[in-house]
């Protein structure tokens, strides 16, 4: 059972950029009863987001990227005494007990003498489907489907949205890598945490409805595949940041193999087979070139 003082030690950071008002309202309605404080960090959307409940708005003067926005919100909450940081994207909706389940996993790990940096929920789509949690196996990102009644299972990667990070881990591992701007930010932090002896916990009982990509498409390649399609500019950051993270000392061989396979899949599915392939191919090539040049920050115009 989660104690009230512990539940009240959670501060949530929601990063927004051109948010859908209805989606943001649904997120805040589900989130605010579960945490002590909510800070919405808006990356200079043309129209300031309208907030409901007790959420506070930090509006930035220009788009600083998701990592910088997360760090700004985290710094504010940590100064005010938060013991846990919950990161959320604008298009996520937590289950009513998500935070309670994540806190319980942190407690269970601590009681077992484990150092868990972050606990993350099971990501589900609007139909309730999930691919499970991620491990690096056999040169790929393997989906691990939870079995049994384990409070938590080991993961190699958690997406930022829904991740509950302890203050101790944040202080030890450090903030998000702002130079990456967007994409692979959570990957880099997870790799860095693991290199410092922390574990990542996937929590089957915690659920987060989260949309991956701009929309879902179905492609035939040996079989029908349902894939998340991003806007073209995202493929620039995915390719560039993969190369940048590879240079870091905490980038493991297992992750490098899995990520290389993912990049080749992106090239095949979205650079060859998917609609709008030429725009995405150009962005992939540009990201590859800038990654080789070790360029970072926002994509040059």
- Report the predicted TM-score, pTM, of the whole model to 2 decimal places: 0.92
Structure tokens at 297: 């920050």
- C-alpha–C-alpha distance, residues 80 and 162, integer Å: 21
In this structure, the number of other CB atoms found within 10 A of the CB of residue 13 comes to 26
Give, for all 301 residues of the chain, the pLDDT tens digit. Answer: 444 446 569 999 999 999 999 999 999 999 999 999 999 999 999 999 999 889 999 999 999 999 999 999 999 999 999 999 999 999 999 999 999 999 999 999 999 999 999 999 999 987 777 888 999 999 999 999 887 788 899 999 999 999 999 999 999 999 999 999 999 999 999 999 999 999 999 999 999 998 765 555 454 344 444 556 678 999 999 999 999 999 999 999 999 999 999 999 889 877 777 777 899 999 999 999 999 999 999 999 8
250: nearest Cα among 68, 146, 117, 91: 117
Beta strands 10-16; 84-89: pairing state: parallel
DSSP E strand boundaries for the chain: 10-16, 37-42, 56-59, 84-89, 92-94, 116-124, 133-137, 140-144, 153-155, 164-166, 199-210, 215-220, 224-229
Domain chopping of the chain, boundaries:
4-210, 215-292
Domain 4-210: give its CATH architecture: Alpha-Beta Complex (3.90)
């Amino acid at each position: 059972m989660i104690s009230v003082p512990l539940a009240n030690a959670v501060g949530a950071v929601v990063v927004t950029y051109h948010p859908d008002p209805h989606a943001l309202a649904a997120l805040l309605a589900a989130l605010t009863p579960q945490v002590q404080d909510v800070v919405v960090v808006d990356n200079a959307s043309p129209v300031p987001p309208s907030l409901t409940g007790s959420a506070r708005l930090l509006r930035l003067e220009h788009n600083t990227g998701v990592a910088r926005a997360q760090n700004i919100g985290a710094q504010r909450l940590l100064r005010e005494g938060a013991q846990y940081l919950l990161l959320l994207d604008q298009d996520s909706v937590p289950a009513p007990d998500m935070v309670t389940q994540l806190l319980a996993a942190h407690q269970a790990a601590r009681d077992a003498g484990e150092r868990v940096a972050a606990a993350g929920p099971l990501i589900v789509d609007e139909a309730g489907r999930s691919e499970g949690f991620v491990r690096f196996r056999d040169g790929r990102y393997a989906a691990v489907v939870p079995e049994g009644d384990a409070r938590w299972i080991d993961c190699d990667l958690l997406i930022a949205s829904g991740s509950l990070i302890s203050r101790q881990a944040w202080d030890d591992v450090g903030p998000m890598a702002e130079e990456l701007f967007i994409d692979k930010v959570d990957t880099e932090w997870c790799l860095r945490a693991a290199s410092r002896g922390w574990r990542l916990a996937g929590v089957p009982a915690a659920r987060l409805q989260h949309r991956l990509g701009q929309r879902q498409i179905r492609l035939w390649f040996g079989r029908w595949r349902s894939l998340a399609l991003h806007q073209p500019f995202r493929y620039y950051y995915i390719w560039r940041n993969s190369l940048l993270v590879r240079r870091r000392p905490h980038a493991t061989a297992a992750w490098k193999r899995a990520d290389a396979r993912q990049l080749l899949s992106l090239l095949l599915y979205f650079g060859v087979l998917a609609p709008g392939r030429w725009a995405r191919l150009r962005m992939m090539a540009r990201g590859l070139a800038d990654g080789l040049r070790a360029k970072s920050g926002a994509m040059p115009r």
